[in-house]
Amino acid sequence: MSYGFLDIAVTPSVRSVQAEMGVDHLWSDFKGTRPSDRFTESEAAFIAERDSFYMASVSETGWPYVQHRGGPRGFLKLVDDRTLAFADYRGNLQYISAGNVAADGRACLFLMDYPRRARLKIYAHVDIVPLDADPALTALISPQGYRAKMERIFRLRLDAFDWNCPQHITPRFTEAEVSAAVQPLRDRLSQLEADNAALRARLGLEQKDGEAP
């Protein structure tokens, strides 16, 4: 079984550079440890936790275009073990990604987990689905309580995925993650302040009781 992600990523030019750097033997017959054309429970759990990702598409001029996509946590939905979908929200009205994938459906996604220093790379073919074309899919990707305007659905058919090593990923944390991390400190500070106030009140009463009549 071949390793699908490298089958796509490694071109003759890439092999030439690998040979130049003396590492071509590492990849000449690399098979990987498991299939990369179907998401497992590990990828499903990782995808469900993401509130953003980066998507690269290719224009008709040949130039790549990378766009940040964000939304509520879990807005990128796993439809099945080979299909993803997400709502395309109204943005700056340039529609570059939408236009690119309409002409060439190939895309590459980078999903980042900065606190855990993990990243998942996905090669996929994208097709655009009107909101009224598939009611079940529209219901699946519709966010509860998220006020952004949905304009269309991006449906992605998995070609291959791969995990990257954590090297050079700087841990970063969202406001919510920082807040959750320091909450025990806030709770402890509140308790100490309450204990201190109670102690001061007690000392004040004892001093008052000890005053000469």
pLDDT, tens digit, for every residue of 1-18?
Answer: 457 888 898 889 999 999
C-alpha–C-alpha distance, residues 160 and 66, integer Å: 19
Q: pLDDT class for 36, splitting at 50, 70, 90? A: confident
pLDDT over 80 (residue 154):
yes
Query: What CATH number does the domain located at 34-164 have?
Result: 2.30.110.10
Spell out a b/e string for 176-197, using b for 16 or more CB atoms within 10 Å of the CB, else e: eeeeeeeeeeeeeeeeeeeeee
Domain ranges of the chain: 1-32, 34-164, 173-213
Tokens 């009463």, located at residue = 205
Model confidence at 145, pLDDT cuts 50, 70, 90, reads confident
The whole-number pLDDT of residue 144 equals: 84
| pTM for the whole structure | 0.81
As a whole number of angstroms, the distance between CA 50 and CA 54 comes to: 11
